Structure 1
Amino acid sequence: MPLELENIQGTVLRNRPMPYFGSYLVFSIEDPKSAYALIERLIPHITSAADWNAPAENAWINIVFTHEGLKRLCLPKEILDGFPIEFKQGMAARKSFLGDLGPSDPENWNLPHGGTGFHIGLFVMAGTEVLREEKIRIGQKAIAELPGVKTICRLEVGVPPTLREHFGYTDGLSRPFIEGEGGSPLPGQEKPYKAGEFLLGYIDETGNLATGPGPEEFWKNGTYISIRKIYQKVHLFREFLKQHGQTRDEQEFVAAKMMGRWRSGCPLSLSPEKDNFELARDPMRNNDFNYLHDDPDGKKTPLGSHIRRVNPRDGLEGTSTNSRIHKLLRRGAAYGPLLPENATEDDGVDRGIVVAFVNANPGRQFEFVQSQWVNDGDFISQGQKTDPIIGRRDLSNDYTYPAKPIRKHIMGLPDFTVTKGGEHVFLPGINGLKWLVSQSKDLFNN
């Protein structure tokens, strides 16, 4: 069943330019009439996925809502109550389950969430800063003379000049191939995933139709995005590598064993002993690997490494876990300036990554992966051991991987990251946005 690309907001499928320049703009709603006016003004400018593989314009704008935002739009109670519990409660309320405790507690977040004014969000992405600002001006013009909607946050994101995220890893090399998107999967994209894992209105991996509350025209071609703002302690990560590797090559080896890829992007599965920059740059090879037959024990890519946790591929076949129902479509973008290359101390600047996880079922997709695969090791028979890059350290602070002549056991693993924001948002289809506006006509005419 082909996807209705013209009704799907573009951020779900669109290939990002390289480099790219983006912004997250967050708005609060004080008056529903103003908010509906904003939505109506923006609809002609919302970019669809109709030309996602070869866009005519190298920039796009998309819109999302928190549950509190939809409530402030005065949607009927039966619709508001019909959303998934994760979306209704909001990510801040689910901090204990997700492990957002201590420094990561929502009390310390600097990105607004549904309980602190995040009601509407605009995602802007572009191939140049000029194009980004042009799209932002569209939003500024739309909000003009609408006193009931206020801009409360703007966060610039993109890819650093190094074309790597702040810890030095090449990002964005793996993406699921979705049934109906058109074209053919690249090597390593696995068997195509059912569209209902990422979009409402389509069959999912359980064989059921992924649906939402209210009339079909409201939720079809929509989805949920689970947003995380992650502060990265770059100076601490650099110091850690120096402590566990006497030479640059040894440090790079430790970094690769923690991630599952060399920092160039080259997978350990295909080059376990040394980095291969040519392979890393080849899209026909850099994601073409699995674990079940070639590396079941994690001798190449450790079982507890980051990429093997968040994307087990075929590594869990034969177990009670069906990894295909927990798949995420991940969109990551860095924020903040680079820490100078030779700096070894914290300069106090906020820098890190904002990750948008596209999932049609945030409970069994994002929240499952975060709570069970990132912050628990039972599924790989590692007890309470957590992700070495982003996992909780109050549960476990050690990491082990196979090595010769004996395995490597790292104790005292520090917190390399801190959660600085998060929220589950709803991204309607374009017809869903039009349905919202049509509802407002009835609302304000009565």
Structure 2
Amino acid sequence: MTVTDRTGGDLPRGRVTVELDDIQATVLRYRPEPYYGTHVMLHVDDARAGRELLRELAPRIDSAADWWHAREPWIAAALTYSGLAALGVPEDSLQSFPEAFRVGMAARAHELHDYGANDPQHWDREFGTGAIHVAVSVFSDSEEKWRRTMDTARRHYEGRPGLRVLTAQDFGAQPGDLNPLGYRDSIGQPAIEGSGIEPLPGQGMAIKAGEFILGYPGEAGVPLPAPRPEVLGRNGTYVGLRKYQSRVGAFNRFLHANAQTHDERELLAAKLVGRWRSGAPLTLAPDRDDPALGADPLRNNDFTYAADQHGRQVPRGSHMRRMNPRDTKMSVLVDVNIHRIIRRSTTFGAPYDPDALSQQDDETPRGLYFVFLSAKAMATMEFLQQEWINNGNFMSLGDERDPNVGLQQDGAIFTIPHAPVRRRIHGLETFNVLRGGEYFFLPSLTALRWLGEEH
């Protein structure tokens, strides 16, 4: 599904000031609906084999040119720091990457507040060890095209001496494209200045391209530091990947323990996120779900919090409001635009089951690959984890944490403002447990070709 399909008509075109034909398509192209795909994680045992893979893949990776009209599946390729080193990238180039990228996500567990159940010692064995070198992802809007494109990608790495597949995870194909906890997601992406499309209703002013793509001015008016040489850094970006196991049983038990009827449980679920299951925002549908609103991209993000500063419609601690406070008056002042991310998250495993209530259901293989892009992904993720996800001070909520992806403490609470008396719900659990994570560099098409050469 293209952006035009999502809006049901032609989009307001804007100026193009970034080099779309050199930027990987996945930076700007929206995830299809429905969507099918696979994430493949590779290890490079032989630098020459790794470079050959990139040379062969580069012509098959779509650019972002005309990203709003895309009809075909696309392939994305990204590399970890250890992957760049395994390819033989020169040392001066390797040292030009940010420290957090060089050491990797697992080594930044303290800064990311990845403690307890989220500690890297509990991650799947592929993650956090430096073993993952290259990630190849395929996105498609149909099963037939996905399988065909995967066959194409597979021919380039499967059975090639010097390369090993560490893990391959199929994703998508969920009923209604719902995430593991039963919500429609990936609503409310940031508008990017110079991308060729004017902001959609509710997106606000377009954010400077340099916040998301290296080589262009950011909100501060200057480009962010980029890897050297310029051919490597320009038009690239960084990707953060965090694999979550969704504890659906715990989530459903929480709803049943704190709401008596189906309608009350659905309202509580909406309060936790800020949207109904359909994607309809509580700000526009405060009393009951509105699936037509949730499915309409020209309306489902067109709102502000100006008239709801106390959070009586959308709790200030809800997941959506934490991750994009918009015009909320916060206790800790911050420029929201410099902390926005592009999201390409994908759901895997068994679909959401509203009847799953046991602890065994918590271990059913299903969850979310939280995939986000930003020209400063590492710093942004650390800020979000420290300040907006695992802290409540910026919203005057004390120790309260994000109810969706926060790492909850014993006795965790969630506050629902109400007149005359607010409601405080106790017993919030960690509903999404971290099972792995990596930082990747997503090169431009020019840089992919450069990485395919011997240096």
Q: CA offsets, 1:235-287, max 9 Å, x none?
A: 11111111111111111111111111111111111122222222222222110
Equivalent pair of 2:179/2:352 in contact (CA under 8 Å)? no
> Corresponding residue for 2:8?
none
> Corresponding residue for 2:375?
360
**Distance change (3 Å), C-alpha of 1:216 and 1:307:** same
2:270 maps to a residue whose letter is: A
Quick one: which of 412, 424, 430 aligns to 1:409? 424
Structure 1 residue 94 corresponds to structure 2 residue 108? yes
TM-score, with length taken from structure 2: 0.92
> Corresponding residue for 1:254?
268
Q: Output the CA distance in 2 between the equivalents of 1:230 and 1:136.
A: 24
> Corresponding residue for 1:239?
253
> Corresponding residue for 1:12?
27
> Corresponding residue for 1:266?
280
* Percent pairwise identity: 39
Equivalent pair of 2:39/2:135 in contact (CA under 8 Å)? yes
> Equivalences for 1:13-412 in 2 at 5 Å?
13-57=28-72, 59-110=73-124, 112-113=126-127, 115-143=129-157, 146-291=160-305, 293-316=306-329, 320-345=333-358, 346-347=360-361, 348-394=363-409, 397-412=412-427
Q: CA offsets, 1:60-116, max 9 Å, x none?
A: 101000001011112122211111122111111111221222222212212623524
* Deviation of the 1:319 alpha carbon: 5.3
1:303 maps to a residue whose letter is: R
**Distance change (3 Å), C-alpha of 1:56 and 1:344:** closer
Q: Output the CA distance in 1 between the equivalents of 2:25 and 2:86.
A: 25
* Deviation of the 1:183 alpha carbon: 2.3
2:204 maps to a residue whose letter is: E
The secondary structure found in structure 2 opposite 1:435 is helix
* Deviation of the 1:415 alpha carbon: 1.5
Equivalent pair of 1:385/1:396 in contact (CA under 8 Å)? no
Q: CA offsets, 1:198-231, max 9 Å, x none?
A: 1001111111112312111111110001111111
The secondary structure found in structure 2 opposite 1:325 is helix
2:21 maps to a residue whose letter is: E
1:152 maps to a residue whose letter is: L
Q: CA offsets, 1:164-205, max 9 Å, x none?
A: 112111111110010111122111011001001110011111
Deviates more, 1:343-352 or 1:204-213: 343-352
2:31 maps to a residue whose letter is: R
The secondary structure found in structure 1 opposite 2:26 is helix
Q: CA offsets, 1:280-338, max 9 Å, x none?
A: 222221101111x2112212111111001011112247953111111111111110012
Equivalent pair of 1:234/1:339 in contact (CA under 8 Å)? yes
**Distance change (3 Å), C-alpha of 1:186 and 1:122:** same
RMSD: 1.7
- Structure 2 residue runs of 5 or longer lacking an equivalent are 1-15
Q: Output the CA distance in 2 between the equivalents of 1:195 and 1:24.
A: 26
TM-score, with length taken from structure 1: 0.94
1:252 maps to a residue whose letter is: E
2:341 maps to a residue whose letter is: L
Q: CA offsets, 1:382-436, max 9 Å, x none?
A: 2221111211213871111112442110112112110011111000000111122
Deviates more, 1:204-213 or 1:142-151: 142-151
Q: Output the CA distance in 2 between the equivalents of 1:234 and 1:201.
A: 42
Equivalent pair of 2:43/2:133 in contact (CA under 8 Å)? yes
* Deviation of the 1:20 alpha carbon: 0.8
* Deviation of the 1:144 alpha carbon: 5.0
> Equivalences for 1:428-443 in 2 at 5 Å?
428-438=443-453, 440=454, 443=455
Q: Output the CA distance in 2 between the equivalents of 1:99 and 1:418.
A: 13
Q: Output the CA distance in 1 between the equivalents of 2:183 and 2:247.
A: 14
Equivalent pair of 1:111/1:229 in contact (CA under 8 Å)? no
**Distance change (3 Å), C-alpha of 1:362 and 1:183:** closer
1:324 maps to a residue whose letter is: N
Q: CA offsets, 1:141-169, max 9 Å, x none?
A: 21256311111110111141132112111
Q: Output the CA distance in 1 between the equivalents of 2:352 and 2:273.
A: 20
- Structure 1 residue runs of 5 or longer lacking an equivalent are none
1:41 maps to a residue whose letter is: E
* Deviation of the 1:138 alpha carbon: 2.1
The secondary structure found in structure 2 opposite 1:182 is strand
Q: Output the CA distance in 2 between the equivalents of 1:308 and 1:295.
A: 11
The secondary structure found in structure 1 opposite 2:54 is helix
Q: Output the CA distance in 2 between the equivalents of 1:276 and 1:220.
A: 43
Equivalent pair of 1:29/1:149 in contact (CA under 8 Å)? yes
**Distance change (3 Å), C-alpha of 1:340 and 1:273:** closer
**Distance change (3 Å), C-alpha of 1:328 and 1:25:** same
**Distance change (3 Å), C-alpha of 1:341 and 1:382:** closer
**Distance change (3 Å), C-alpha of 1:144 and 1:227:** closer
Deviates more, 1:220-229 or 1:9-18: 9-18
1:95 maps to a residue whose letter is: A
Q: Output the CA distance in 2 between the equivalents of 1:99 and 1:318.
A: 22
* Deviation of the 1:16 alpha carbon: 2.4
Deviates more, 1:417-426 or 1:206-215: 206-215
**Distance change (3 Å), C-alpha of 1:2 and 1:287:** same
1:302 maps to a residue whose letter is: P
How many residues end up aligned between the 2 structures? 438
* Deviation of the 1:36 alpha carbon: 0.5
The secondary structure found in structure 2 opposite 1:321 is coil
The secondary structure found in structure 2 opposite 1:210 is coil
